[in-house]
Amino acid sequence: MRLSEFEVKSIKESIRVFDSDALVYLFGSRTDDSKKGGDIDILVLSEKLTSKEKRLIKLDLYDKIGEQKIDIIISKNGVKSSFVKLAVSGGIIL
């Protein structure tokens, strides 16, 4: 996983402010140590988070870890679309 401990902690803290029960996954190229670059792809399984809170989380992360390309996908816990299944199966829980 190509995130520092500080980045992981910051991501989890920023999300848990709004939903302490959320499940947070890193997926995409940042899960592969052999690759370079890439954005930070985060899947959040949450029944509570809104699109407004998603924007606030991104702003908080920019303040904490700097302006990086961060993609946050929010999915309801019960939703099991093909995309969510793929992200969870290939992702790393934070």
Q: Is the pLDDT of residue 11 over 90?
A: yes
Q: What is the pTM of this model?
A: 0.89
* Cα–Cα nearest to 44, from 28, 27, 60: 27
Mean pLDDT to the nearest integer, 22-42: 88
Cβ(11)–Cβ(41) below 8 Å:
no
Domains of the chain: 5-93 (3.30.460.10)
% of residues, the chain, pLDDT over 70: 97
Q: Are 43 and 73 in contact (CB under 8 A)?
A: yes
Better-predicted residue by pLDDT, 78 or 7: 7
